[in-house]
């Protein structure tokens, strides 16, 4: 992978309404990023985690990128 330069990590939270489990998903990724930065401090600057329903928890756990398309554009509609 000598031609790839990762700039961050991305995750989606566990598919649950349990906020503790969602927060744990985000916390685990942040901890993983922190460990990776010890070996490659210039890489892994970004944490893309959180979507419209859980972005507050993601930000609280260190997200630098959130995906809130549904919050802006509404739910997707699919043709019948």
Separation CA 18–CA 9 (nearest Å):
23
pLDDT at residue number 1: 66
**Among the residues of the chain, which ranges form H helices?**
19-39, 55-60, 69-73
Which pLDDT value is given to residue 49? 95
Q: For residue 77, is pLDDT > 90? A: no
| Whole-number pLDDT of residue 71 | 86
pTM over 0.95? The answer is: no
For 14-65, write each residue's pLDDT tens digit: 889 999 999 999 999 999 999 998 887 778 889 999 999 999 999 999 999 9
């Amino acid at each position: 992978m000598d031609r790839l330069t990762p700039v961050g990590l991305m995750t989606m939270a566990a598919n649950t309404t349990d906020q503790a489990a969602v927060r744990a998903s985000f916390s685990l990724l942040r901890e993983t990023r922190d460990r990776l930065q010890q070996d490659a401090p210039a890489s892994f600057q970004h944490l893309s985690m959180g979507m419209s329903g859980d972005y507050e928890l993601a930000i609280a756990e260190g997200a630098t990128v959130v995906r809130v398309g549904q919050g802006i554009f509404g739910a997707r509609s699919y043709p019948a």
